[in-house]
């Protein structure tokens, strides 16, 4: 411990993501013992004092706080981790950057491209280390897909296809807004499935297959009015419950994306498939340690989809865990993101996706929503208003 550099973390927000990130920090000393930096859980912040105290006890934070501005003002804090609902991301990130803090921000970067732009400007002016928690990149099978694509094995890419399907909002009596349901309130979340789920698919797609040039989209809000938990009134639902879009990538390939919270039977079915001239790759979150690969040059008698169980120590991240054959889970993607962030502090390289990279994902989301509203193709415009 004495040789380690301490990185004092303040977590703002104690929901589901607060737990995934905290678990990530806590696993580092055991599984990534060689890193120079050691996360120290200093402060957790929630508006609700009881919640903050209970969270601090459960996850090992030294202190609980109810005012995020006090957290930012605390000189002992090195890095601020933003896990609040989306409407708070920009204000907190900009204030933290102005105080010179490193920032780890939950996805999506913000509600809109304009908000995201202000955040990118703030961190770039401050020159602080930053990353956005698009965690699925860091599942070993997804990272292996990246390595295979970068090696050129697929050849020219023709198609990129992704889905993120859930079913938790089908019940028309489910209220919107407030604790636990802010994702259904467009004023807080910015959008529905586009920002919440498709942003994951877009982040992975840009990482694996490069920039998206233009999009044509459709969205639907199946339940038009819901009780708002905060106002107690029945209000118009402004989020997209479902969204599908087509796109063209800069490399000439075609993209097809779909997301919904109305796919009965699917809780978190994130899948992608990439078809190249020589080979194809596909992946499914429900079987997250497996990558499927089809190689056209295989002996024609034996050719078929290879089912690669990504658990070998020579495959990404797996030397850190158990022994070959034994898989890991969803939570490990967050441990890996913490490890990569700490590593980036060691080697001085940015921890991808940075705010600037997540800004590109936001630009695609914005183009998708604009296209659906206009019923027309939209160019992905990286210049915000
Ligand atoms: C929504 O249900 C949600 O929790 C998203 O907010 C997460 O980003 C996604 O990974 C799982 O689903």
Regarding the beta carbon of 268 and ligand 1, being less than 6 Å apart is answered: yes
Residue 302: the pLDDT is 97
Low-confidence stretches of the chain (pLDDT beneath 70): 1-2, 385
Atom of ligand 1 nearest to the CA of 261: 2
Regarding the beta carbon of 106 and ligand 1, being less than 6 Å apart is answered: no
Q: Which residues pair with 251 in a beta bridge?
A: none
Distances (CA, A) of 20 to 23, 314, 336: 5, 26, 12
Helix (H, G, I), strand (E, B) or coil at 268: coil
Cα 246 to ligand 1 centre (Å): 22
Regarding the beta carbon of 185 and ligand 1, being less than 6 Å apart is answered: no
- Which ipTM value was assigned to this complex? 0.98
Name the residue of 165, 240, 268 whose CB sits within 8 Å of the most ligand 1 atoms, as the mutation to test its pocket: 268
pLDDT tens-place string over residues 114-167: 999 999 999 999 999 999 999 999 999 999 999 999 999 999 999 999 999 999
- Signed CA dihedral, 169, 135, 37, 328: sign only: positive
Per the prediction, the chain carries an average pLDDT of 97
- Tell me how far apart the terminal alpha carbons of the chain are, to the nearest angstrom: 47
All structural domains of the chain: 5-135 (3.40.50.720), 137-378 (3.30.360.10)
Atom of ligand 1 nearest to the CA of 199: 8
The torsion angles phi and psi of 53, rounded to 5 degrees, stand at -65, -45
């Amino acid at each position: 411990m004495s040789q380690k550099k301490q990185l004092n973390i303040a977590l703002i927000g104690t929901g589901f993501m607060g737990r995934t990130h905290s678990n990530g920090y806590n696993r580092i000393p055991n599984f990534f013992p060689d890193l120079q930096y050691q996360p120290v859980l200093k402060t957790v912040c929630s508006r609700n004092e009881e919640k903050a105290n209970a969270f601090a006890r459960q996850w090992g934070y030294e202190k609980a706080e109810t005012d995020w501005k006090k957290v930012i003002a605390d000189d002992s804090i090195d890095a601020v981790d933003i896990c609040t609902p989306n409407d708070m991301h920009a204000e907190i990130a900009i204030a933290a950057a102005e105080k010179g803090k490193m920032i780890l921000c939950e996805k999506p970067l913000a509600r809109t491209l304009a908000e995201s732009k202000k955040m990118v400007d703030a961190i770039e002016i401050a020159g602080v280390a930053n990353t956005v928690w698009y965690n699925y990149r860091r599942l070993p099978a997804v990272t292996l897909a990246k390595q295979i694509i970068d090696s050129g094995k697929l050849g020219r890419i023709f198609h990129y296809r992704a889905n993120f399907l859930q079913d938790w909002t089908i019940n028309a009596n489910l209220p919107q807004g407030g604790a636990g349901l802010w994702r259904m309130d467009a004023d807080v979340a910015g959008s529905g499935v586009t920002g919440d789920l498709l942003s994951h698919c877009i982040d992975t797609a840009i990482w694996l297959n490069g920039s998206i040039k233009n999009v044509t989209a459709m969205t639907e809000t199946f339940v038009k009015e819901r009780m708002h938990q905060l106002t107690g009134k029945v209000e118009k639902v402004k989020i997209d419950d479902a969204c599908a879009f087509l796109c063209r990538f800069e490399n000439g390939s075609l993209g097809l994306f779909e997301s919904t919270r109305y796919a009965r039977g699917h809780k978190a079915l994130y899948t992608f498939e990439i078809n190249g001239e020589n080979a194809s790759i596909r992946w499914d979150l429900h079987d997250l340690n497996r990558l499927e690969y089809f190689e056209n040059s295989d002996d024609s008698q034996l050719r078929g989809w290879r089912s690669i169980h990504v658990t070998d120590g020579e495959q990404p991240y797996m030397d850190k865990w158990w022994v070959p054959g034994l898989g890991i889970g969803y939570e490990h993607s967050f441990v890996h993101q913490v490890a990569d962030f700490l590593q980036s502090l060691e080697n001085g390289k940015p921890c991808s996706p940075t705010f600037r990279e997540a800004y590109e994902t936001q630009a695609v989301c914005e183009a998708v929503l604009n296209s659906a509203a206009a019923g027309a193709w939209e160019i992905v415009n990286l210049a915000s208003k």
